[in-house]
Chains A and B, each alone.
Chain A
Amino acid sequence: MNKVLMQGNRVIGEAAIRAGCRFYAGYPITPQNELTEYMAEHLRKAEGGTFIQAESEIAAINMVLGASAAGARAMTSSSSPGISLKQEGISSLAADELPAVIVNIMRGGPGLGNILPSQGDYFQATRGGGHGDYRTIVLAPASVQELADLTMDAFALADQYRNPVMILADGMMGQMMEPLTFKKPKPRQYHECYTLKGAGEGRSKFIRALILDAIRMEEHNWKLFRKYQVITKKEIRHETFKTEDADLLIVAYGTAARIAKGAIKRARERGIKVGLIRPITLWPFPSEVIRKFSETIETFIVFEMNTGQMLEDVRLALNGAGCVHFYGRPGGVIPTPVELTKVIEQHAKKS
């Protein structure tokens, strides 16, 4: 397989098309525009491919809802403020048990914020985001190669669990270029019985989220809950980096994890045994992995490009064990390995 040099946003588009995505609707917003533009140029050339520049993020996600129900592999993308607008549709997709892939190339917030890389949407992404008792699978790539791989995986996971899947990256992931290879996607496995294509000669079907009867609504909630339990059991992904001999651990994902790797190399040159746990799925969260490390490691530093969101999941995972520190740079600031190395040194001295 040939290596190609491509920008992250465009890689998501190419990986999606290769994975069989045939419907994309989106609305311009920085820093993810290259993805929308890539789909405009290339998805319409793909057989059966539909690209629509929607009038809003809300329209885009609802077009995806319709296309997904009609049997298409469907995707939309946006950046933080636009993802807020999509939440109604994401909640509906979860309620309807329809697959879809939603890409969030995060930028600084709250409000319009700015257009620089941030990880401020962790809570929104991992807690469902919209109203009601639901979850989305959240994948957090940390390289352009992983953007390609996880985009393909996202479609498979969405189909397998009939649930929306979010790719949660940030402006740096979307904008940067790296060499990568596109792996061969697995053929789609999705049963026709979940689609609406017209009843033909058979029984008519419907898909709906409104369930007025409380007991039935409760049953639906528990059904979704059981599905989320299965996902939690089977789909947790994480990477460990230099943890074998570590006596101090950083927990970071996405862009922050890349920066952390640079800092860990520098710190190790100075004799500090520090490693990294990088959650790849933010929901389901690798709680058990982190808890296990607390049996041998006392000091954890959660490092995020926000004011401390994944921090809460790490604390929940540790449940009082270990000593948890936090270092964060919100608002679109890209921290450097040098500054994180200093943080590591401070905590290494203390421990």
Chain B
Amino acid sequence: MQKSHEDVHQDTSPVMKKVFSKPKFLKENAFHYCAGCGHSIAHRLIAEVIEELDIRGRTIGVPPAGCAVIAYNYFDIDMLESPHGRGCAVATGIKRTLPDRIVFSYQGDGDLAAIGTAETFHAANRGENITVLFINNAVYGMTGGQMAPTTLLGQVSTTSPPGRDAVLDGYPIRMSEILAHLEGTKYIERCAVNTPANIMKARRAIKKAFQYQMADAGFTLIEILSHCPTNWKMSPIDACRWVDEVMVKTFPLGVIKDTKAEG
């Protein structure tokens, strides 16, 4: 491989070796996300995978209504904003029209597991060959911290002020486990972006999901537990810890379904 001038320069100075840089397919715009938010990490991972798989020119993303609504300001790929909850339907329309493109939707928990449950469930059941990046932060972020379908029991939100009560508010929904029962789903994994190790695992999962889509395998979904210090009313570090110490008890990390691995 031909070395660039920069690489040559770096090779002569081991102390200055570049081990990390902004992904090629993230725009220069600064993220609007709150300090300590998991969205920006998830964005970076997706952009890294798009770069690594060399699919930027044929990838179309579908951002949601929610904190990530202006994701098109960050991703340097074609993007079509979806009405709230309809990401999987919009992505279906794109993918069926352009079957050789890589199509993903990026959706929050309210978007995917409340208002868009039907669209998500049925796209999964049809085995649409799309990839869903499901950001679960157990709260409605953009609207200011209301109870989400994934809010934990006892978790305080602006619409469950004493904490989520199963009798009054129902239970947190495990969408990944539910969708795994459908024959159309081929690969589902739950990850987190709260520690370096979890971030690396999430990156591998996102890459694998895109690779499944590239192989026409069917519906793939990566759920990412994403810390929301602002609405959890915690410091970023405490929020990262809360994912490990509390959130994973309701939403355990790991592969939920992998048809290829299962043979």
Contact = CB atoms under 8 A, between A and B. Distances in A.
Interface of A: 22-23, 25, 50, 52, 54-56, 58-60, 62-72, 74, 88-89, 92, 96, 196-201, 204-210, 212
> SS class of chain A's interface: helix, strand, loop or mixed?
mixed
B70 interface: yes
A150 to B, nearest CB: 24
B78 A205 contact: yes
Nearest to B69: A210
Contacts of A69: 80, 90, 93-94
A66 B94 contact: yes
Contacts of B72: 206, 208
Contact of A66 (B59, B69, B91): B91
A25 B89 CA distance: 10
Interface string B76-95: 11111111001001111111
A55 B93 contact: no
B57 interface: yes
Size category of the B interface is 35 or more
A68 B97 CA distance: 9
A62 B86 contact: yes
Given A50-B97, A206-B78, A62 B122 contact: no
A70 B118 contact: no
Given A64-B93, A66-B95, A210-B81, 15 more contacts: A23-B96, A50-B96, A52-B92, A52-B126, A54-B122, A58-B118, A59-B92, A63-B92, A65-B89, A68-B93, A69-B90, A96-B80, A196-B80, A199-B77, A206-B72
B119 A70 contact: no
Interface in B17-63: 56-60, 62
Among B65, B76, B77, chain A packs the most CB atoms within 10 A around the CB of B77
Contacts of B75: 204
B66 to A, nearest CB: 11
B208 interface: no
